[in-house]
Every structure is written in C-alpha cells, then in structure tokens.
C-alpha cells in the first residue's frame, strides 16, 4: 500500500536540541579548565625575586651613571615579568573559580543560554521545523561573549544542517500524485527504513510530505531506455537515468534516479527483477 502523507523528517524538539548542545559545550569547556587551584607559591616567589632584582638593577644603574639606561631597562623587564606572573595567576584563579562545576554556575549559564531562543518570553513548542529553528540560530552564531554559548550555538547550527541535508540519495518525481505532490520534477530523498521505502521532499523549509511504499508496491526498476510509453510531465527524462516504478490500487508513480544510483537500487530491491 502506498501512503502519501505529511513528513516529520525535518522536525526537531527545540528544547531537547538546546539542552543537549549546552551540556556538550559546557562539558567541553569544563574539561579545558584547571581541576585544582593554581599554585600560589610560584607567583609569590617570582614576584619577590623580580622585585629584588629590580631594586638591585636600579641601585646598580645609580652607581654607574654611564650604564644606567641598560640597568634601568633590566629593572623594567623584571617589573614586567612580575606583573605577567601575577596576571597569569589571577586568570587561572578566575577560570578555576568559574568552571569548577558548581550547580549555581551551571544553572546560571544554562538559563542565560536558553534565553537566547525565547521570543517575548514565550516557551518553545515541543516540535518545530529545523528550518524555522535555523532562522533563530543563524543571526547569533559567533556573536556571543560567552565561550560556552558560542560553542553551543555552533553545535545547534551543525545539527540543524545535518537534519536539513541528510546524506541520502536524491531522485525526482516523474508523475504527479495526490494533492501534496501535484507537480512533477519534485526533488525527493530516497531512504529504506524498517522494510519500507520512503521518498520525502528535499525542500526542508516547506516540505510537502513523503511517499511511503512496501516492497510489494515496487513494480519495476531499471534504465530509462528499457521503458517505453512513459509520458513524463514537466520536462524530459535524462537518457541515462534509472527509473523506479511503484503502483497500488490508487497510485501509479515513477521516480527518476541518476545512473550511478543503480547499484544501490539493486541492493535495496534485491527481491525484485531489474527491467531488461
């Protein structure tokens, strides 16, 4: 039996997607941060050493006026190194304190991230087209000051791209069918799923639906040259194309595949004889 129905191939759960992206991004961020407080003894020792050297160089410069510029430059270098050591310690300390996985920190970051996707304070629906979600995500990619948020937004964008552009074989509808597919040459993705064959609209922004059939509905498949009497609507069929024919009591549909899809179709329709 052939079914022509709405498709949910491009639907996603936005809250689930946002939550998974945040958890992945935060985990990656936390793993990059120090797991123990930075050593305080080293910057203190460095600071004292640099201060003593600075004083020594200044006194030496005052004692030898002809070489004071050299000694004063060395003193400045010591001060700069001491400041660098202190700043480096403070930065590590801040990272440690902010990334130690505190529940309050995680909750605060999560709420801030969720707020990026809430319009006028309204909750997100349980299901939405990936294309609609992409409209919200695209303008904020790479524009977040927070590292976790930036990473999570990219994760969402990449997942939406995977949903909208699946690595599947593309074919064309030769014969219009039903109200949903009333125009020929519609591009469809082809997929074998749970013993059935699915042809679903490749237009992820406004998908018309999908055509699902059983193996018993597969009448024939083979090179276009082996078929005669087909009157394609809406344009010519490529001479080297491969056709797939499905039929039941109500529908008689042809699909056009590229020639290099033939090995895949032979495998998918192994129980059917190729048209010769």
Lookup: tokens for 77:
């270098």
Of 14, 12, 8, nearest to 201 by C-alpha is 8
pTM equals 0.70
d(CA 52, CA 19): 53
Q: What are 86-128's pLDDT values in tens digits?
A: 888 888 777 766 655 566 677 888 888 988 888 776 788 899 9
What are the two backbone dihedrals, phi and then psi, of residue 80, each rounded to the nearest 5 degrees? -65, -40
CATH, range 167-268: 2.30.29
d(CA 53, CA 75): 7
d(CA 16, CA 27): 16
Q: What are 177-189's pLDDT values in tens digits?
A: 888 998 888 999 9
Domain parsing of the chain, residue ranges:
11-33+100-164, 41-98, 167-268
Q: Any idea which of 27-36, 103-112, 233-242 has the lowest mean pLDDT?
A: 27-36
Per the DSSP assignment, residues forming a β-bridge with 190 are 169, 199
Return the residue matching tokens 């004083």.
55
d(CA 207, CA 186): 11
Q: What are 199-223's pLDDT values in tens digits?
A: 999 999 999 999 999 999 999 999 9
């Amino acid at each position: 039996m052939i079914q022509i129905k709405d498709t949910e191939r491009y639907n996603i759960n936005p809250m689930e997607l946002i939550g998974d992206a945040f958890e992945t991004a935060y985990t990656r961020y936390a793993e990059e941060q120090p797991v123990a407080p930075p050593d305080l003894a080293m910057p203190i020792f460095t600071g004292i050493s640099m201060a003593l050297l600075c004083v020594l160089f200044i006194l030496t410069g005052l004692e030898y006026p002809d070489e004071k510029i050299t000694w004063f430059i060395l003193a400045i270098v010591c001060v700069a190194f001491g400041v660098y050591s202190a700043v480096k310690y403070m930065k590590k300390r801040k990272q440690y304190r902010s990334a130690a996985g505190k529940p309050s920190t995680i909750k605060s970051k999560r709420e801030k991230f969720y707020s990026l996707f809430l319009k006028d304070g309204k909750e997100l629906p349980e299901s939405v087209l990936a294309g609609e979600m992409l409209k919200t995500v695209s303008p904020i990619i790479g524009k977040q000051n927070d590292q976790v948020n930036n990473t999570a937004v990219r994760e969402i964008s990449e997942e939406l791209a995977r949903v909208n552009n699946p690595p599947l074989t593309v074919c064309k509808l030769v014969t219009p069918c039903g109200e949903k597919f009333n125009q020929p040459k519609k591009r469809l993705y082809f997929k074998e799923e749970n013993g059935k064959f699915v042809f679903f609209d490749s237009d992820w922004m406004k998908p018309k639906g999908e055509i699902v059939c059983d193996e018993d509905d597969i009448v024939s498949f083979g090179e276009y040259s082996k078929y005669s009497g087909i009157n394609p609507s809406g344009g010519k069929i490529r001479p080297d194309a491969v056709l797939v024919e499905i039929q039941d009591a109500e529908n008689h549909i042809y699909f056009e595949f590229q020639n290099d899809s033939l090995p895949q179709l032979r495998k998918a329709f192994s129980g059917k004889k190729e048209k010769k």
